A and B are shown apart, each in its own frame.
Chain A
Amino acid sequence: MGKQETLDILDKIYDQMSSMAEDELLNYLMEGSESYKRIIESQILTVKVESSCIESTLNKAIETAGSYISVKETNDSVSSPISRNDQWAKAA
């Protein structure tokens, strides 16, 4: 089931992509990246309101940051969600 399900998912995405005009697809991909950032930011914001303890706030933010990120390195980029979170935590 696993492999067939994967093939079906990739087919579905391909059908979606190939039915779009080039500009439309570009916008869609850009929107995907932007909404991904917004989801992460909104989740971190929610955590910020809910918790007053920096350590537990960071842990909650990490949990809610989604399945792609657990903890990211903070020393070489200010663009990663956790880096922003870390900066916020330091400020708080």
Chain B
Amino acid sequence: MRGAASLFPAILVLLLTALSQAQGTQSTTAPFSLISREGRRIIPTTVANGRELVALDDVASIFQISSREDTLAGGLTVTYRGRTIVVSTNQPLASVNGRAVSLSTPATRIGTRWSVPIDFFSGALSLVYDGRIELRRASRLLIVGDLRVPRVMARIDSAGPPTRATIEITPATRNSVVMEPGRLVIRLEADALEATIPRDGAGLIEQFRIGEQPTTVTIALADRAGPARAVPVEIDGITRFQIDVAPQLPTAETAAPTPAPVEALPPPVEVRSVLGTIVIDPGHGGEDIGVRSGNGSEEKALTLAVAQRVKALIESRLGIRVILTRDEDRGVGLDQRAATANNSKAGLFLSLHLNASPVATSAGAVVVHSRIDRGGGDRGIPEDDAVVLPVFGGTTRAVDLIRWDLAQARHADTSAAFAEILEEHLRTRVKMGARPRRELPLRVLTSVNMPAVLVEMAYLSNSDQARLAQSEAYQVNVAQSILDAVLQFRTYLEAREGR
């Protein structure tokens, strides 16, 4: 009897272990944050069979939903204000107002509670819900209601000193900057912030802190930091802060004449990170349709479609800012395209086009960079010229002048290098033309003051190629090739600059 009693705890432990294993491969993960008018709450999630699930009991009161198992309907019925959603328990599907919605996994019973995948809220519940529901999976945010939750991205461009950093707010957001002892505080007119910031600072910036107050970005400065400033610029729907922190000024005892604080700061546009911004130029637009294929597809529409894919891909994967010279069907002059690129201080310009040939069988992609007449004459490489202009603070600054129609000349070698890289990557995914890389006097590239390349993605004059160029698969292949080429080009630039 005593022996049996002593065995009881061991049996209990074994039973509990077996029970936990029987419940599958579930584990808990970092919770999601739910942001609503009522504030921020934590939603616990469980991973079962590789899928992230939320227990309906945990969010029933937040979303005002009720749920019950419905064997007749073959699933789980979720009701919100008299509107019903049936979530399948054996297929990753939900039925909303008779419409099938695909989910990442079926509703699952865990213990005594029913759980649904996290995308149930944005994919199914949002269709009957009175407010907006947005899932930002990467930042583990679930936003409920019409809230302003801009994305905040911070990076150190140069440790210095002086130290330079950039903070980008997307979409553009009204703001104010306050300089406090030991820190700069940027207040944003938003309901909450979604932040992607480096863990540690560098140089004279000790740390970036988000949300000391709900909608502020704080830049904590090192003890040896001197004057600091944050200058906001709004371009293409993004608010971009250039943060400059100068070292502490020498004290009166140790130094002779103290320069004005503004002099200690670097000029706001001369230092930039390698490939922080690139410009994608969807060729043609508006009345200028470009090439029209036999089946009626137009170059201007296809270049825009690919440009938007490239933008989304590069921004999400590489964190590089991408500016489009046009984001809708409108005419943009060739000089205006160059001006957009030059004004954005981008590190790369890529013009997207589709080709035509007098022969219907011509096929393949072609990469083109600008041909510069090195023999001099009207189109020779420009001599650098500089003028001295007065700047704020009563001093002067030398500014390089470059002839507008010769701006590309100084980037000829780097453009050629990127053309070669892009050709290599395109070749792995799409058919290349008989002359896959060319050097031509291209009008759109001549005034671009940065490495610049034009790519003819396929021949619209070839009916097979035209069908291909319209397909999602082909466009994805081209976009992916461009992404890979940009990544390699960034490495090439970093190696060249000895970073």
Q: Report whether chain A binds chain B.
A: no
A positions within 8 Å CB-CB of B: none
B positions within 8 Å CB-CB of A: none
